[in-house]
Amino acid sequence: MSSKTPIYEGKAKKLFEGPEPGTLIQHFKDDATAFNAKKKGTIVGKGIINNKISEFLMTRLNDMGIPTHFIRGLNMREQLVRAVDIIPIEVIIRNYAAGSFAERFGAFEGEALGSPLIEFCLKDDRLGDPFIAEDHIFAFGVAAPEEIDEIRHYALRINDFLSGLFYGHGIRLIDLKLEFGRFYEGETEIIVLADEISPDTCRLWDIVTNDKMDKDRFRRDLGGTEEAYREVARRLGVLPNINVVEKASFADIKGGKAKPAKGKAKPVKAVKAVKPAPKAKGKPTPKKKK
Ligand code: AIR
Ligand code: ASP
């Protein structure tokens, strides 16, 4: 684990200077916040799981020609990424109504939207990440119209690809939040996917049971949060020995000194172990492809 002082510390991650110019080390913490940090907690092992899930998904996206900030994995909690200027917009893509969308429009959670819907929020905790229209984005100089066009194009491709990938593992991608960054190669500006893709930033429901397998378990005090995150990692096959999460996080909590975990590491619990969410008011209909 990096022992240096971070150059930036966010709610779920820290950034350290990277080994080469133009690189950063992205370190994933177990800290969890919700409702603009009004709710705080810890999801044990989350940093390891999110690091590995994000590494896996960003690698797949790189493979299919979506530029991302991801360079390579470093260890259980850290990855090397390209240093980029983050465009301070949260790009939300929704396939089904849920969360703030369901609340705003009186939709039931799980109601299929005819086609993916993109929303933008200004990344500003002080203001509570308010929704922002494209006109505001341009007027405030947050991003240029050509940048937003490119971001929309990438966001839809990423959403289509991830919807299919998760579906193959019995998971419905309800919605997700993406962040993009820019850097320059000479005069040329390049936009890349940045931040992370994980159960912190996506709503993921089990296809059969509709159980929530994401941060909503923490936000809504549903219990079984650790198990749900582990189950996503297990299904994606990103941690060959998932029990390592318990051991490694135990060592991390104890200041890096590995002590034997109490008793035997628990076997992976299948999703049955995740407490069913309160019954959704309706059953989601299968996602309509464009
Ligand atoms: N999100 C928004 N801000 C931070 C995050 N992680 C994600 C949520 C959800 C999507 O954006 O995790 O996947 C939409 O959130 P909401 O609350 O607007 O419905
Ligand atoms: N992570 C954000 C916060 O701390 C939003 C969320 O995920 O609910 O409030």
Residue 239, pLDDT score: 87
More confident residue, 165 or 284: 165
Beta strands 89-96 and 112-122, pairing class: antiparallel
- 84-290 is classed in which CATH architecture? 2-Layer Sandwich (3.30)
Provide the pLDDT confidence category of residue 270 given band limits of 50, 70 and 90: very low
What residues does ligand 1 touch, defined as CB less than 6 Å away? Answer: 90, 92, 98-101, 175-177, 200-203, 215
Measured from the CA of 33, which atom of ligand 2 is nearest?
4
> Which of 11, 28, 30, 33 has the most ligand 2 atoms within 8 A of CB, as the residue to mutate?
33
Instruction: Find where tokens 């975990």 sit.
Output: 261
Ligand 1 mean position to 176 CA, how many Å?
Answer: 6
Distances 7 to 98, 174, 183, 184, 193 between C-alpha atoms, Å: 35, 33, 18, 21, 20
> Which of 36, 43, 92 has the most ligand 1 atoms within 8 A of CB, as the residue to mutate?
92
Ligand 1 mean position to 251 CA, how many Å?
Answer: 30
Residue 248, pLDDT score: 57
More confident residue, 246 or 76: 76
Mean pLDDT of the region 7-14: 97
Q: What is the pTM of this model?
A: 0.86
Q: Domain locations in the chain?
A: 6-82, 84-290
> Which of 36, 176, 216 has the most ligand 2 atoms within 8 A of CB, as the residue to mutate?
36
User: pLDDT of 100-140, one tens digit each?
Assistant: 999 999 999 999 999 999 999 999 999 999 999 999 999 99
Length of the chain: 290
Q: Cβ(215) to ligand 2 under 6 A?
A: yes
Residue 26, pLDDT score: 98
Ligand 2 mean position to 229 CA, how many Å?
Answer: 16
**Which residues face 78 on adjacent strands?**
27
CA dihedral 268, 225, 167, 114 (to 10 degrees): 170
CA angle 68, 73, 79 (to 5 degrees): 70
Q: What is the CATH number of domain 6-82?
A: 3.30.200.20
For residue 267 the two structure tokens come to: 């076997």
Residue 204, pLDDT score: 98
Provide the pLDDT confidence category of residue 65 given band limits of 50, 70 and 90: very high
Ligand 1 mean position to 242 CA, how many Å?
Answer: 26
Residue 264 has pLDDT above 60, yes or no: no
Residue 247, pLDDT score: 60
Provide the pLDDT confidence category of residue 3 given band limits of 50, 70 and 90: low
Residue 241, pLDDT score: 77
Distances 102 to 94, 95, 110, 223, 225 between C-alpha atoms, Å: 11, 12, 9, 22, 22
Burial letters 65-92, b for 16+ CB under 10 A, else e: ebebbbbebbebbbbbbbbbeebbbbbb
Residue 276 has pLDDT above 70, yes or no: no
Residue 265, pLDDT score: 36
Residue 37 has pLDDT above 50, yes or no: yes
CB 58 within 8 A of CB 193: yes
Residue 235 has pLDDT above 90, yes or no: yes
Measured from the CA of 38, which atom of ligand 2 is nearest?
9
Provide the pLDDT confidence category of residue 285 given band limits of 50, 70 and 90: very low
Q: Cβ(60) to ligand 2 under 6 A?
A: no
Mean pLDDT of the chain: 88
Ligand number nearest to the C-alpha of 202: 1
Residue 243, pLDDT score: 74
Provide the pLDDT confidence category of residue 21 given band limits of 50, 70 and 90: very high
Mean pLDDT of the region 65-72: 98
Mean pLDDT of the region 260-284: 41
Percent of the chain clearing pLDDT 70 (strictly above): 83
Provide the pLDDT confidence category of residue 224 given band limits of 50, 70 and 90: very high
Measured from the CA of 201, which atom of ligand 1 is nearest?
6
Q: Give the closest residue to 129 by CA, choosing from 177, 84, 69, 173.
A: 177
Between CA 105 and CA 101 the distance in angstroms is 6
Same fold, 6-82 and 84-290: no
Ligand 2 mean position to 34 CA, how many Å?
Answer: 4
Residue 242, pLDDT score: 73
Q: What are phi and psi of 177, to 5 degrees?
A: -120, 130
Provide the pLDDT confidence category of residue 143 given band limits of 50, 70 and 90: very high
Measured from the CA of 12, which atom of ligand 2 is nearest?
1
Helix, coil or strand: residue 190:
strand
